[in-house]
Amino acid sequence: MENHSNKITPDVFVFTIDAEKEKESDRFLSESILALQISGQLTLETNIEKMVMKPGDILLVRKHQFVKVTKTPIGKDYQKAILLILKDDILRKYALENQIDNNEKYNGSSNILIPESDFLQGFFNSLIPYTQNHKNINDQLSSIKVKEAVQLLLLTKPELKNFLFDFSEPHKIDLEKFMLSNYKFNVPIESFAKLTGRSLAGFKRDFQKTFGIPPRQWLQNKRLTEAHYQIEKNNKKPSSIYLDLGFESLSHFSYTFKKQFGYAPTELTKTR
């Protein structure tokens, strides 16, 4: 059984994730997140780094990035973590209330392991009732808890100010370079557009100019070409790569692979 404790809706500011068996998924983070690993192992992988969280670890994860999330039970302990969403509107209010003037764009690490802190451990314990009773929580309560987390983070690491209070939007970046680094993430086209600093219409227009074909077609072709290479040259099994390449199921991967190349991926393994 896998559980995202309570569906994540706009009014939810804290939730738990847990799994009794290993599970992978791709996520686009529109807000920064503060996470505490309770049991098992949680792996967060971006296009440039991989973070493995063990019980007791607290990780601050920056907004505006793609993340592959792997939930892994260890032994008899199923995977469980508490995640707090650091919503921009609450961070802006905190900055105004505390006269924090930050005009610097943050260019540091996107994912920061927070040092052990009795204050933060106690804070996460106080969040448990909120993960179980979302319907009884109003905006004022959620704002209080997020501001408390911010205050504790700044107490623990004052240099996090630029991380927390950089409200700049992603600027328009090199589309080709970005897509070649991030094509494996299985997220909506809208998320690719946002992270490249473009509207959806602008993204599709620039994409067509850069690659000569629409985004969805290019993504599928690129993922299938990489899959063919991994199976043929690196002796990978289809079942071990389809998730990493952005396919939701092995059956869908096998169907699209055969449609593209004229033979099933299993037939390619037999020719070796």
Residues 214-249: pLDDT tens digits?
Answer: 999 999 999 999 999 999 999 899 999 998 899 989
pLDDT at 209: 96
Q: Class for domain 2-164, per CATH?
A: mainly beta
Instruction: Write out the E strands in the chain.
Output: 2-4, 14-19, 23-29, 32-39, 41-45, 50-53, 58-61, 65-72, 79-86, 111-114
Tell me the pairing of strands 14-19 and 2-4: antiparallel
| CA 227 to each of CA 49, 178, 260: distance values in angstroms, whole numbers, following the listed order | 22, 20, 11
* Residue numbers of the chain with a pLDDT score lower than 70: 1-11, 134-137, 270-272
Cα(185)–Cα(223) distance, integer angstroms: 10
Of 1.10.10.60, 3.20.20.70, 3.40.640.10, 3.40.190.10, the CATH number of 175-270 is 1.10.10.60
User: Domain extents for the chain?
Assistant: 2-164, 175-270
**Burial status of residue 265 (CB atoms within 10 A of its CB: 0-12, 13-18, 19 or more):** buried
pTM, rounded to two decimals: 0.78
Burial state string for 26-42 with b = 16 or more CB within 10 A and e = fewer than 16: bbbbebbbbbbbbbbbb
